[in-house]
Amino acid sequence: MNILTFNKRKIDKQKISMVTCYDHWSAKILNETEVDCILVGDSLAVVMHGFESTVHATVEMMELHVAAVARGAPDKFIIADMPFLSCSRGLEVALETVYRLMQAGANAVKIEGDTHQVNLIQHIVEAGVPVMGHLGLTPQSIHNLGGHKVQAKDEVQASKLIDGAKALERAGCFAIVLECIPTKLGSCVSQRASIPTIGIGAGPHTDGQVLVLHDLLGVNPEFSPKFLRRYADSHSAIQNAVNTFHHDVVERAFPSLQESYR
């Protein structure tokens, strides 16, 4: 996958798959899967560092995780989230952040929000860096949105979101993430946009789908939003493996002589 294939997929009506990834060992595993692209999302602040929200992701954190992922998944197209407020403190801060993420190994950056970001996005694209947009539930604005809720449920908000998608396309975004919006709106934006839409909680009609890797692997049984499908029960698998190891140690069944040096 590269920047040109995103659009080709849309034209050919072939869906795009994206998963988040934050570290080296899972990047190595993903590098050998068929998944189309990897997002080093700022959700790493929550999933990897235990913070309440993505507001706590810093440039340093993003940079470190992007570098680890890039070393593990050299064959994948890697998109890195621009962290909280890195796009609202002037062009210099934004470009410095883009520079650091690209130097760390990203192939593109993702920016949350619409109209207030259009000029900045245009500038970054003109500087030669592919930008992915992100509309609907934008977790960096969680305090403004009043929680993780489905967005753009009424007509005014829906048409605002459609206009936002058009503005992002005009600004030069190569794709847009649509998060937690009604299925009908996900479909409508996807039909109207000539760039691919990648949905999470946006219904089946978007041009692609993204999930947080840990969620699709079932690492956290307490997190079960409506849109999530779990493809594994890693929580139990990890606990069972570690408990089996523990019992083997306690019962002197590990290591065996075959697992020991002469």
Of 141-200, binders to ligand KIV (CB under 6 A) are: 177, 179, 200
The residue (of 21 and 120) whose beta carbon lies closer to ligand KIV is 21
Helix (DSSP H) and strand (DSSP E) numbers for the chain? 11, 8
Structure tokens at 25: 């060992």
CB of 42 to ligand KIV, least distance (A): 5
Assess whether 179 carries a catalytic annotation: yes
CB of 7 to ligand KIV, least distance (A): 20
Q: Which of 1, 6, 21, 43 binds ligand KIV (CB under 6 A)?
A: 43
Task: Report the length, in residues, of the chain.
Answer: 262
Which stretches of 100-201 are assigned E, i.e. beta strand? 108-112, 131-136, 175-179, 197-200
Q: Which of 35, 41, 77, 219 binds ligand KIV (CB under 6 A)?
A: 41
Structure tokens at 239: 């606990």
CB of 215 to ligand KIV, least distance (A): 9
Q: Which of 6, 26, 38, 42 binds ligand KIV (CB under 6 A)?
A: 42
**Of 38-46, 151-159, 181-189, 251-259: span binding ligand KIV (CB under 6 A):** 38-46
CA 192 to chain centre: 23
CB of 54 to ligand KIV, least distance (A): 6
Using CA atoms, how far apart are residues 16 and 11, in angstroms rounded to an integer? 12
The residue (of 9 and 112) whose beta carbon lies closer to ligand KIV is 112
CB of 240 to ligand KIV, least distance (A): 27
Cα angle value 153/155/156 (rounded, 5°)? 105
Report the b/e string of 59-95 with b at 16+ CB within 10 A: bebbbbbbbbbbebbeebbbbbbbbbebbeeeeeebb
**Of 37-45, 72-80, 158-166, 231-239: span binding ligand KIV (CB under 6 A):** 37-45
The residue (of 62 and 188) whose beta carbon lies closer to ligand KIV is 62
Using CA atoms, how far apart are residues 31 and 240, in angstroms rounded to an integer? 26
**Of 39-47, 71-79, 88-96, 155-163: span binding ligand KIV (CB under 6 A):** 39-47
Phi, psi of 73 (to 5 degrees): -130, 65
Using CA atoms, how far apart are residues 238 and 138, in angstroms rounded to an integer? 31
* 120 touches ligand KIV (CB under 6 A): no
The kind and range of the H/E element at 134 are strand 131-136
Instruction: Give me the catalytic one of 63, 155, 179, 259.
Output: 179
Using CA atoms, how far apart are residues 26 and 87, in angstroms rounded to an integer? 29
Q: Please, which residues bridge with residue 176 across strands?
A: 133, 197
Cis peptide before 139 (omega within 30 of 0): no
The residue (of 97 and 239) whose beta carbon lies closer to ligand KIV is 97
**Of 7-15, 35-43, 146-154, 166-174: span binding ligand KIV (CB under 6 A):** 35-43
Residues with catalytic function:
179
Q: Which residues bind ligand KIV (CB under 6 A)?
A: 20, 39, 41-43, 81, 177, 179, 200, 210, 212
